Amino acid sequence: MVGGPSPSVKDLQRRITEMGYVFIKFTDTDGGTDLGVRVDPAASDLGGADFDRGAGRVHLEGTLTLNLVKVRCVTDIELPSLSGTGRLVALEEAAVV
């Protein structure tokens, strides 16, 4: 699901194309978790999206650091509902402290 302070199709498009940074909300956590993700344009696909009509789907991939571990966020978002599926993939092992 698209997260952030004012989730909308236009805000998502602006964040992807101008800022290169989006908020993804994982709702299956206690209270929901908003994660800021730096978009990887080479791995993302906007070809199925019609942002003007709010139709279609986007595939986004990007990186962030979560609990001191670098992870990759992989998500598919349906524009009409701003919801979809996503997962996090660890890019390194957690440091033992």
- Per-residue pLDDT at 29: 74
Give me the sign of the Cα torsion angle 36, 7, 87, 80: negative
Closest CA to 21 of 4, 45, 43: 4
Stretches where the chain sits below pLDDT 70 are 94-97
Side-chain half-sphere CA neighbours of 8 within 13 A: 7
Q: Give the count of alpha carbons within 13 A of 65, CB side only.
A: 5
Q: Which token pair is 64?
A: 């962030």
The ranges assigned to domains in the chain are: 9-90
Token representation of residue 13: 């498009």
d(CA 38, CA 55): 23
13 near 2, Cβ under 8 Å?
Answer: no
CATH topology of domain 9-90: Polyomavirus Enhancer Binding Protein 2; Chain: A; (2.40.250)
